[in-house]
Homo-oligomer: A and B are copies of this chain.
Amino acid sequence: MFSKTCQYAIRAVLHLSLYKDDYRVGVAELAEALKAPKHFLAKILQQLSKHGLVSSAKGPNGGFYLSEENQKATLEDVIICIDGSNVFSGCVIGLPQCSSDKPCPLHMQANAYRQGLQFHLKYQTIGEMALMVERQGLKI
């Protein structure tokens, strides 16, 4: 479904949302926590940063964090930023002309799956998800 890059991005953002508001997380620390390759994770965070989905501060005590604004974004935003919107809307068997007008044989069922998930990812902010994660003790 999602690329490995995107999986790291999702996990990184969720993880960032668990820290205290004013704490800046260094890539090394985050990479360790996620068991993700450090430099690769750095790239991903930079891309998210460039698109305003995470915030960062350079220099001593710097690092990545989620601003109030960032917390209001959704995982859908993160996913689209990394993998593009086609993960939700592209034809599952790769037909360029596939649409609800001229559907492929898997169109309806595949869309049910993807739109259901997309809805879930869209109508809950990252901040809200973080609360869920903490209360339910979910794995990241």
Contact = CB atoms under 8 A, between A and B. Distances in A.
Nearest to A107: B138
A92 interface: yes
A105 B1 contact: no
Interface residues of A, number: 37
B138 A92 contact: no
A129 B105 CA distance: 8
Nearest to A88: B1
A138 B87 contact: no
B133 A1 contact: no
A85 interface: no
A10 interface: yes
B139 A10 contact: no
